[in-house]
Amino acid sequence: MDWLKIAQSYKEEYIEKTQALLRIPTVLETFNPSNNEAPFGEDIRRALDWFLYMGEADGFKIKNIDNYAGHLEMGSGSEVLGILGHLDVVPTGGKWDYPPFGATLVDGKIYARGSIDDKGPSMAAYLAMKMVKDQHLNLNKKVRLILGCDEESGMRCIRRYLEKEQMPDLGFAPDADFPLIYGEKGNVSWNITGFENDDLLESINAGERYNVVPDECVAVLKKDVRSAFEAYLADHQYQGKVEDHTYTIYGKNSHAAWPYMGVNAIFLMAEFLKTQTTSKLVNYLCKYMTHDYYGKKLGIDHFDPEMKELTINLAIINYEKGAFTVGVNIRYPLGFELDKQLSKVERTILDYGFSYTQLRNSNPHYVSPQDPLVKTLLAAYQKYSKDYTSPIVTIGGGTYARALKKAVAFGPNLPNNPDLAHQPNEYVIVDDMIMAAAIYAEAIEHLCTEQA
């Protein structure tokens, strides 16, 4: 069956529905588990309702799981193929050329936060299911598009879903790159907390999420060090400004899985403050963290031939009148001795008189490249992309695939396309999503029909 030809006839529908979804500003502001109607906020609940009602109108079975997640289902059988997407998005930091929730269509691209991560790909997967349904294929498995509401902030949604529903027997997450991602690094964060009296520092603030490199750091200082700050900016060709006692320096956002692709504004501010204060916190950051993307300063660097290097992101700092919290995230490969290595980190923190708190850990996820699931999905990609040379890979990012025993991240970003997840001016290329829909339909056909 020529799924690409079929998908072309759904192009306008894809654009219309994707734009409508992208215009819902689904940034998690506050998680409130006591709010049964909208635990992740009203806008995220609205997006979930919108998607489920759309699916019901198109003839799918739908289910809302405690307003944490939902699914749309077709097919029958005891086994389940899960396709896992998410509706929440990261904040809209940085300079945008178009409104981040405007879903502006320009030259075949839709610009919006969440366009490539992950609303646009989720809609491509939905389109694939609709195409298969409209062709009346006889499916021997249930096919579920599972939509989560909290992927960017801890995946509480998918954990709740799996408490209430059958874990899919196999699956894929359209939330990464083609050809296919068969392994994801482990992911763990920690906080450094403490208090100090400092003659210079009133406040320092940067970052909102552990999975984003902060692009702006703002410090309120008790003394006038304008001349030194402006000289520091000029000497290093950094961007920043001073307004009264407020000092701001700018970096560049990137996903925490690839921190070296960004410019961490906390690094830049800490290196300046080191020349102006004896603050123990600033000293710690400069000694163990600044301008280090691989954990070498902490002595926790590690390399695996398949998953490559451990990476580290200094993600968050909140310092107010001496009390502070610093948030750090690492993405670690196979073979990393987590407890042993984090004990090293804890010792460096305790030696400074600060406190260490480890947050939730997610272990590395791996499916063998020889597994039939991997081979079937790769064949579907190659059929429509005509790309027989790009290798399957592992990544530092985390997708819903890691929540299942047997699942991989599968598209839709094509090789050589920029990775715009978590960055300003995020966009999705419509024609790429139409091809992705064809690939996903091919995959469903071959995984869920007898004749395929």
309-363 pLDDT, tens digit per residue, is 999 999 999 999 999 999 999 999 999 999 999 999 999 999 999 999 999 899 9
**Alpha-carbon separation of residue 18 from 61, 103, 141, 427 (angstroms):** 21, 8, 27, 12
Distance between CA atoms of residues 315 and 251, nearest Å: 12
Are 314 and 264 in contact by the 8 Å Cβ rule? The answer is yes
* Residue in the block written with tokens 């996820």: 365
Q: What is the pLDDT of residue 94?
A: 84
Tell me the average pLDDT across 405-412. Answer: 96
Q: What is the pLDDT of residue 93?
A: 83
Q: What is the pLDDT of residue 451?
A: 52
- Closest by CA to 130, choosing from 278, 3, 33, is 3
Domains of the chain, start order: 3-185+365-448 (3.40.630.10), 186-362 (3.30.70.360)
Give the count of beta carbons closer than 10 Å to the beta carbon of residue 200: 15
Which candidate in 118, 151, 215, 271 is catalytic? 151
Cα atoms in the Cβ-side hemisphere of radius 13 Å centred on 163: 10
Tell me the average pLDDT across 49-58. Answer: 98
Torsion, Cα of 400, 148, 31, 17 (10° steps): 130
DSSP structure class, residue 301: -
Q: pLDDT band for position 291 (50/70/90)?
A: very high
- Is 244 exposed, middle or buried, given 0-12, 13-18 or 19+ CB atoms closer than 10 A? exposed
- Closest by CA to 374, choosing from 359, 351, 344, 394, is 394
> Which region among 23-27, 71-75, 152-156, 432-436 has the lowest average model confidence (pLDDT)?
152-156
Are 59 and 184 in contact by the 8 Å Cβ rule? The answer is no
DSSP structure class, residue 117: I
Distance between CA atoms of residues 327 and 357, nearest Å: 10
- Closest by CA to 366, choosing from 419, 429, 306, 421, is 306
Tell me the average pLDDT across 92-106. Answer: 95
Instruction: Read off the pLDDT of residues 114-142 as tens digits, 9 standing for 90 and up.
Output: 999 999 999 999 999 999 999 999 999 99
DSSP structure class, residue 443: H
**Alpha-carbon separation of residue 284 from 192, 275, 299, 313 (angstroms):** 11, 14, 14, 15
Are 210 and 189 in contact by the 8 Å Cβ rule? The answer is yes
Q: Which ranges of 250-322 does DSSP label H, i.e. alpha helix?
A: 265-273, 280-288
Q: What is the pLDDT of residue 452?
A: 42
Distance between CA atoms of residues 190 and 220, nearest Å: 25
- Closest by CA to 84, choosing from 74, 72, 67, 76, is 72
Distance between CA atoms of residues 358 and 73, nearest Å: 38
Q: Is 198 a catalytic residue?
A: no
Amino acid code (one letter) for 129: M
Q: What is the pLDDT of residue 125?
A: 98
Phi, psi (rounded to 5 degrees) for 430: -60, -45
Q: Using the predicted structure, report yes or no on whether residue 17 has a pLDDT greater than 80.
A: yes
Q: What is the pLDDT of residue 271?
A: 98
Cα atoms in the Cβ-side hemisphere of radius 13 Å centred on 1: 22
Instruction: Read off the pLDDT of residues 179-203 as tens digits, 9 standing for 90 and up.
Output: 999 999 999 999 999 999 999 999 9
Tell me the average pLDDT across 428-442. Answer: 98
Q: Is 88 a catalytic residue?
A: yes
Q: Using the predicted structure, report yes or no on whether residue 268 has a pLDDT greater than 50.
A: yes
Which candidate in 43, 88, 169, 432 is catalytic? 88
